[in-house]
Amino acid sequence: MPASVSDELTRMTLAEARDALRAKRISSRELTGAFVSAIEAGRPLNAFITEAGEQALHMAAASDHRIARGEAGELEGLPLAIKDLFCTRGTRTTAASKILGDFVPPYESTVTQNLWDAGAVMLGKTNLDEFAMGSSNETSFFGPVINPWRANDSNASLVPGGSSGGSAAAVAADLCLAATGTDTGGSIRQPAAVTGRVGLKPTYGRCSRFGIVAFASSLDQAGPMTKTVRDAAIMLKTMASVDPRDSTSVDLPVPDYEKLMEGPIKGLRVGIPKEYRIDGAPAEIDTLWTKGAEWLKAQGAEIVEISLPHTKYALPTYYIVAPAEASSNLARYDGVRFGHRAAGPRDITDLYERSRGEGFGAEVQRRVLIGTYVLSAGYYDAYYARAQKLRTLIARDFASAFEKCDVLLTPSTPGPAFAVGAKTADPLEMYLQDVFTVTVNLAGLPGISVPAGLTANGLPLGLQLIGKAFDEGTLLRAARAVEDAAEFAHSPAKWWSA
Amino acid sequence: MSVDKDTVRRIARLARIAVPDARLEPMAAELNGIFQWVEMLGEVNVEGVPAMTSVVAQKLKWRRDEVSDGGQADALMANAPEGEDHFFIVPKVVE
């Protein structure tokens, strides 16, 4: 297939590809073949840990048969990339950790099963920060992901954000139609923002966590990473479900988000939280935020100044709660039942300690140690119990804000993508990347990042919208209004396949 | 409160992670940086505030206490680094 035809296929949105397949203008085999080639050409980005091209072409052929027989599912024949935190039966699932480097799950996560049941095609498993712990995709055992975007004045490699950095890069570089991500403190929205694409973290309990490698169970939530808001709505409809295998999966029917997304925003009350104006943030962030509010106002929304007084305590609260949960979730990696096992253990304790010492990278070890410390005898009340109370106060902030408005508008990140290696020396500086996103996880709310503009240097920035619990419909409608007004049509130059 | 080398050694033991001696000092410094930062939570009055136990208002679901799956020993052993006849092999635990 000539390169130009192939480019035309891979540049399509999920909705466009769906409609083209339904109208039989293209076949899933053609479409999938174009992505398999794009992924090979895209290897310098290191977006994938495991490519599954051959299997993808088989799945595509099966989809073409179903389409021909008139049995097409909602996502029939659409090639997707899956964050390597979702267990996929028979396909290696690593969590980007050495400790799970050879793990081949004997079962499928509910979210991915929902996608395959709807006819989607799996292109491969994308890179991430180890166990989803990071904001730049630099803690992966399989090496950093390179952001497809470069600044106008430099060829330096930039990070794609994290932890869903591989998924973000794959969507931005047209290596897939859409991807799955997971978001514990910003891991969908932050990478989507710095790669100029859409990332949606649904309400806690909307997507099943069954079969997703656990990081912090009370915060983790799966969601789509896509080229457009409509695509996010399409993906969420299939990813979300009520799952008896996840006790926190909420018993609410899944609505048709693509329908709910349509319609004007006249009269919608949009809250602007004053605490999200932070010292030292680049002026471009503030300017874009103001512009976003103006865009919504011009479409008939009412802008309301609101206050979330406990905002500054969100990150420190998160860095107690998340490591505490991680330390207990990661206790299962013991070198006995699966995963890396140290050679020649002296005794059982030595087996545990060296398997974990060798198998976990530096950031994971740091967080397991923080978690162990804050849960240990004598410190529990001072740290963990206090953090859980702070979490209540943060959730209450949102509850009172939502008495005055329907959605909130904030920046997605404190800045654009930064250079590989720029923030790895100081963990705290890296943690601050999630300053605008982490509050949403602590309160269990849905949030979406929408590409809204470029910096003077040509790097994408996003705006975040936050919704009420299980009100993804309104959230998507507001996101669509931002998307329409921003008219963000930029894509990175394909320097990697030159 | 400050974390020293011995505290790191103690929590590393609790977490069952082998941290080489040379890493204890730097790790203590990193953890101190983080703990100093979270100290700011101390300035908030949390008296009478209930700890969050569930982020969504939902009663935990009940199900019948019955076997719903099983008989998958082969699948369970498939990823074992060392195993034999459906047993995981570990170093001798009881003398």
Q: Is A375 on the interface with B (CB under 8 A)?
A: no
**Coil/strand/helix, residue A220:** coil
pTM here is: 0.97
CA-CA distances (angstroms) from residue B5 to A392, B19, B31, B37?
A: 34, 11, 11, 19
pLDDT digits (tens, 9 = 90+) for B21-44: 999 999 999 999 999 999 999 999
β-sheet bridge partners, residue A223: A181
Return phi, psi of residue A385, to 5°.
-60, -40
- What distance in Å separates the CA atoms of residue A126 and residue A181, rounded to the nearest whole number? 9
Residue of chain A minimizing CA distance to B89: A336
Q: What is the reported pLDDT for A210?
A: 98
Question: Is A16 strand, coil or helix?
Answer: helix
Q: How many Å lie between the alpha carbon of B76 and the closest alpha carbon of chain A? A: 8
Distance from C-alpha of A233 to C-alpha of A75, rounded to nearest angstrom: 12
- Across the interface, whether the CB atoms of A357 and B19 are under 8 A apart is answered yes
- Marked catalytic residue, from A37, A63, A97, A163: A163
Q: Does B94 touch chain A (CB under 8 A)?
A: no
Contact in structure between A326 and A133 (CB atoms under 8 Å):
yes
Whether residue B82 is contained in a domain is answered as no
Where would I find the beta strands (DSSP E) of A341-483? Answer: 407-411, 447-454, 460-467
Identify all chain A residues contacting B92, using CB atoms and an 8 Å cutoff: 347
ipTM of the complex: 0.96
pLDDT score, position B56: 86
pLDDT computed for residue A1 by the predictor: 67
Quick check: A282 contacting B, CB < 8 Å? no
* Tokens 């997507």 -> residue: A207
Q: Does residue B92 sit within a domain?
A: no
What pLDDT was estimated at residue B45?
Answer: 96
Per-residue pLDDT band for B1 (boundaries 50, 70, 90) equals: low
Judging contacts by C-beta atoms under 8 Å, the chain B residues touching residue A335 are 81
The H-or-E segment that residue A1 falls in is none
Cis peptide bond prior to A163, omega within 30° of 0? yes
Give the residue from A247, A242, A317, A107 showing the smallest Cα distance to B52.
Answer: A317
Taking residue A324's Cβ as centre, other Cβ atoms within 10 Å add up to 25
CB atoms within 10 A of CB B71: 7
CB–CB of B11 and A376 under 8 A? yes
- Rounded to a whole number, what is the distance in Å from the CA of B19 to chain A's nearest CA? 6
Q: Which of residues 9-68 of B touch A (CB under 8 A)?
A: 11-20, 27, 30-31, 33-34, 37-38, 40-42, 44, 46, 49-56, 58, 60-61, 63
Q: Is residue B63 part of a domain?
A: no
Evaluate the CA torsion angle A372, A374, A380, A384 in order and state its sign: negative
What's the burial of A303, exposed, middle or buried (CB within 10 Å: 0-12/13-18/19+)?
middle
Residue B42: alpha-carbon gap to chain centroid: 24
Picking from B9, B38, B60, B82 by the largest number of A CB atoms within 10 A of its own CB, the best residue to mutate is B38
Q: Token pair 């992505």 is at which residue?
A: A35
B17 lies in which domain range? 5-42
Q: Using the beta-carbon criterion (under 8 Å), do B52 and A388 form an inter-chain contact?
A: yes
Q: What is the DSSP letter of A203?
A: P
Q: Does B88 touch chain A (CB under 8 A)?
A: yes
Does residue B36 lie within any of the structural domains? Answer: yes
Picking from A310, A312, A353, the nearest residue to B17 by CB comes out as A353
Residue B62 lies in a domain: no
Inter-chain CB proximity B11 and A106 less than 8 Å: no
pLDDT tens, position by position, for chain A (498 residues)?
A: 677 888 999 999 999 999 999 999 999 999 999 999 999 999 999 999 999 999 999 999 999 999 999 999 999 999 999 999 999 999 999 999 999 989 999 999 999 999 999 999 999 999 999 999 999 999 999 999 999 999 999 999 999 999 999 999 999 999 999 999 999 999 999 999 999 999 999 999 999 999 999 999 999 999 999 999 999 999 999 999 999 999 999 999 999 999 999 999 999 999 999 999 988 888 999 999 999 999 999 999 999 999 999 999 999 999 999 999 999 999 999 999 999 999 999 999 999 999 999 999 999 999 999 999 999 988 999 999 999 999 999 999 999 999 999 999 999 999 999 999 999 988 888 999 999 999 999 999 999 999 999 999 999 999 999 999 999 999 999 999 999 999 999 999 999 986
Q: Is B58 a member of any domain? A: no
Using CB atoms and an 8 Å cut-off, which of residues 287-346 of chain A contact chain B? 310, 312-313, 316-317, 319-320, 327, 331, 334-341, 345-346
Structure tokens at A237: 């409809």
Q: What is the three-class DSSP state of A92?
A: coil
Q: Is A83 one of the catalytic residues? A: yes
Kindly list the strands in the beta sheet with A407-411, ordered across the sheet, starting from the edge strand earlier in the chain: A48-51, A121-126, A79-83, A178-183, A221-226, A198-201, A447-454, A460-467, A407-411, A269-273, A302-306
Q: Give just the sign of the alpha carbon dihedral A353, A356, A362, A366.
A: negative
Query: Per the structure, how many domains does chain B have?
Result: 1
Q: Is residue B54 part of a domain?
A: no
Residue B88, domain member (yes or no) = no
| DSSP per position, B10-74 | HHHHHTT----HHHHHHHHHHHHHHHHHHGGGGGS--TTPPPP--SS--PPPP--SS--S---HH
Domains, chain A, ordered by start: 84-112+123-267+406-497 (3.90.1300.10)
Verify whether residue A217 is a known catalytic residue.
Answer: no
